[in-house]
Amino acid sequence: MTGSIKNPTPCPLPVSRGEGKEKEGEREKAGEIQPREFKTQSGSEIKRVYAPADLQEKNPLPGQYPFTRGLYPEGYRKKLWTMRMYCGYGSPAQTNKRFHYLIRHGETGLSLAFDLPTQIGYDPDDPKCQGEIGKVGVSISGLWDFEKLFKNIDLEKISLSMTINATAFILYAFYLALAKKRGLDLKNLRGTVQNDILKEYIARGTYRYPPEPSLRLASDLILYSLENTPLFYPISVSGYHIREAGATAIDEVAFTFADAFVYLDDLRRLGTNLETVLPRLSFFFGVHNHLLEEVAKFRAARRVWAQAASSRYQITEPRLLRMRFHAQTCGSTLVRQEPLNNACRVSIQAMAAVLGGAQSLHTNSYDEAISLPSPEAQLLALRTQQILAVETGAADVADPLAGSYALENLTDKLAEAVRKRLDEIENMGGMLQAVKSGFAAGAIAEASYRRQMEIESGKAAVVGVNILKEEEAAPAKAFAVAQTMAKESTREVRRQRKKRDQSKVGRALERLGNAASGRDNLIGYTIEAGEAGATLGEIAAAVEKVFGYAK
């Protein structure tokens, strides 16, 4: 046969002999996958086949600038990625129990989720918090809660990641206050504070103060950590939430890097030597279902960051240009229908993160589209990582997909698209201006709407949702937080207020407010307030009196 077949019809699912004469409706009911467009979720065309002519850039070896092929020559051979399961619900005691459960089963790093009142800075007895206490994370109102949360956990032997932004300065201060109370050397503490407030204004909405003072809080935490907790990553600039809100892979990376430039520019304005900051800067990205695009995204992101940071800040030392990142499989890809299918989605996304060279990884639980993860589902998610590490061979080779014509072409395309988006943001005055003008939020909303319309129209196929549906699937069991938990948290914070030295708390909060009015770094004053017995809500309110409330 000569010539080629253009736009071939996708092959249907296998059917048995004798079924070829079914009517069209019956064939669809039997489970045929209908013709579809061959594009990534970001809209890049996928060619039928790739060849050497599709390659644009020749990439150095793993460990070499600009790190497209990975940060380290040996990949995962010397050290696997950190298996860090996102966890937190209900009370500190409940979360502590789940922490120990995960540690017993091989988790190598803790990742802490806070409930919405804690994220914004309200105590559990505040009327604004009703119905939200302990629902999407653990409820924290004071140092006493951290004591329960980390009971029988050696803070010097575990790495802790805290997903917290608006009140990051408070939760970081509580953690340090707990370490001091235990007599530990703060310089031995390891972990990460997300501390990325900018993405809250465009993707999540859990902010409390206006952007400028919020930026000051982020910089204060970074500067304090560099001196006092040098093994901590004091900021993890997050594209994950941007992607979860509906952004394309291109905007996920571009907006994240544009946010990072704002933080670094502010630190440089304060006279900070960025060569001391860059080794403690980390990133956080989501992982979607398109395997090739996601692997290419991580490779392209390393390349773009190394080149852009080198050019923007005149950094010549290659090791300072390594883009370290944590990855999390995306909750927005999980569905309520046939939830066990989500376990397949998570495993594919986890494979993309590993093939893309993530430094740490969280795998979602298959039941998270229904409720907080059950212990059994969370264990399966952890086992998914462990199987990837020891049974698949994926961790044996650094950048194992390198040289794939398709992957290299997608890497080049994504890198180019991210650079163009960064230039567009820079031309409008930078990311702060893009946030204030609504440009970033608008781009995310547009992409989210377009994707949802593709799913609802059937243009984008989702197994178990708009194709290949089980008509009478059994309902999934939901994991629920005890209804009594909110009352217990309320009683506890009130009890703690009664037993403390009120005048000592008042003086500490006054000093914090005065420091906020001036130029002093606020972290030390926040630690003092936490040690005196001030609640999270009281500390947040003391700062709000000076900074104002973001509407």
Domains contained in the chain, CATH given: 78-457 (3.20.20.240)
Residue 383 confidence (pLDDT) above 70: yes
Laid out side by side, the sheet with 360-362 consists of 232-233, 190-193, 159-163, 109-113, 82-87, 360-362, 325-329, 281-287, 235-238
The encoded tokens of residue 331 equal: 């909750």
- How far is it between the farthest Cα atoms of the chain? 91
Rounded Cα gap, residues 119 and 137, in angstroms = 9
- What pLDDT is stored for residue 21 in this prediction? 41
Which residues fall within 8 angstroms of residue 402, CB to CB, at 6 or more apart? Answer: 59, 69, 408
413-424 confidence digits (pLDDT tens): 999 999 999 999
- pTM, to two decimals: 0.89
Q: Is the pLDDT of residue 432 over 60?
A: yes
pLDDT class of 473 with cuts at 50, 70, 90: low
Per-position b or e across 263-295, b if 16+ CB within 10 A of its CB = bbbbbeeeebebeebbebbbbbbbbbbbbbbbb
Cα separation, 384 vs 374, in Å, equals: 15
Going through 318-441 in order, the beta strands assigned E by DSSP cover 325-329, 360-362
Across residues 342-363, what is the average pLDDT? Answer: 98
The confidence score (pLDDT) of residue 46 equals 80
Residue in this structure with the two tokens 């650094």, named with its chain if needed: 398
Q: Is 329 helix (H, G, I), strand (E, B) or coil?
A: strand
Chain-centroid distance of CA 502 in Å reads 38
Q: C-alpha angle 440/442/448, rounded to 5°? A: 105
Bond prior to 52 in cis (omega within 30° of 0):
no
Q: Which helix (H) or strand (E) holds 83?
A: strand 82-87
pLDDT the model gives residue 475? 63
Q: What are phi and psi of 546, to 5 degrees?
A: -95, -45
Q: What angle do CA 254, 257, 260 make, to 5 degrees?
A: 150
10 Å Cβ neighbour count for 367?
25
Torsion of CA 121, 125, 130, 132, to 10 degrees: 50
Burial of 31 per CB tally in 10 Å (0-12, 13-18, 19+): middle
The secondary element (H helix, E strand) that includes residue 250 is helix 249-269
Q: What percentage of the chain exceeds 70 in pLDDT?
A: 92
Mean pLDDT lowest for which of 9-23, 136-150, 157-171?
Answer: 9-23
According to the model, what pLDDT value does residue 40 have? 81
Identify the weakest region by mean pLDDT among 4-8, 299-303, 376-380, 397-401: 4-8
